[in-house]
Chain A
Amino acid sequence: MTHHNTLPLKYIDEYRDARLVKELAGKIQRETRHPWTIMEICGGQTHSILKFRLEDLLPPEITLIHGPGCPVCVTPTEKIDRAIDLAGRHGVILASFGDMLRVPGSETDLLSAKAAGGDVRMVYSPLDVLKIAGDNPTRQVVFFGVGFETTAPANALAVIEARNRGLKNFFLLSSHVLVPPAIRTLLNEGGGRIHAFLAAGHVCTVMGYEEYIPIAATYRTPIVVTGFEPVDILQGILHAVRLLAKKEYRVHNAYARAVKKEGNPAAKALIREIFQVTDREWRGMGTIPMSGLELSPAWAEFDAEKAFEFRVKKKHGAGKCLAGEVLQGKILPAQCAEFGKTCTPEHPLGAPMVSSEGTCAAYFRYGKYQNNRS
Chain B
Amino acid sequence: MSARLFEKMIRPCLSNPWLDLSHDGAMIRLEGRRIAFSTDSYVIQPIIFPGGNIGELAVNGTVNDLACCGARPMYISLGLILEEGLEMEVLWKIICSVREAADRAGVKVVTGDTKVVDRGKADRIFINTSGIGIIGEETEVSPASCRPGDKILLSGKIAEHGIAIMSTRTGLEFDSPIVSDTAPLNHMVEKIMASGAGIRVMRDPTRGGVASALNEISRSCGYRFIIREKDIPVAGAVQGACEILGLDPLYIANEGKLLLIVDPGDEQKVLKIIRADPLGKEAACIGEVLDSRDKLVEMETVIGSTRIVDMISGEQLPRIC
Contact = CB atoms under 8 A, between A and B. Distances in A.
Interface residues of A, number: 55
A151 B319 CA distance: 11
Interface stretch (B71-79, B94-102, B143-151, B233-241): B233-241
Contacts, number: 134
Contacts of A54: 305
Contact of A18 (B231, B237, B240, B304): B304
B157 interface: yes
Interface stretch (A253-261, A272-280, A364-372): A364-372
Interface string A55-99: 011000000000000011000000000000000000000000111
Given A344-B313, A366-B308, A7 B318 contact: no
Interface string B284-321: 10000000000010100111111111101110111111
A225 to B, nearest CB: 16
Contacts of A72: 320
Interface size class of B (residues with CB under 8 A): 35 or more
Contact of B318 (A99, A354, A366): A99
Interface string A1-35: 11111111100100011100110000000000000
Given A18-B304, A52-B305, A97-B318, A2 B232 contact: yes
A342 B178 CA distance: 39
B25 interface: no
B171 A124 contact: yes
Interface string A137-174: 00000000011101100000000000000000000000
B296 A99 contact: no
**Most chain A CB atoms below 10 A, which of B157, B249, B309:** B157
B220 to A, nearest CB: 16
A4 B320 contact: no
Interface string A324-339: 0000000000000000
Interface of B: 157, 169-171, 229-237, 239-240, 243, 246, 249, 282, 284, 296, 298, 301-310, 312-314, 316-321
25 contacts: A1-B232, A3-B239, A4-B157, A6-B236, A7-B236, A9-B236, A12-B240, A53-B306, A53-B307, A57-B305, A99-B318, A102-B317, A124-B169, A151-B321, A344-B313, A346-B314, A354-B314, A356-B317, A357-B320, A364-B313, A366-B307, A366-B310, A367-B298, A367-B309, A370-B308
Interface of A: 1-9, 12, 16-18, 21-22, 44, 50-54, 56-57, 71-72, 97-102, 122, 124-125, 128, 146-148, 150-151, 202, 230, 344-346, 354-357, 364-367, 370, 373
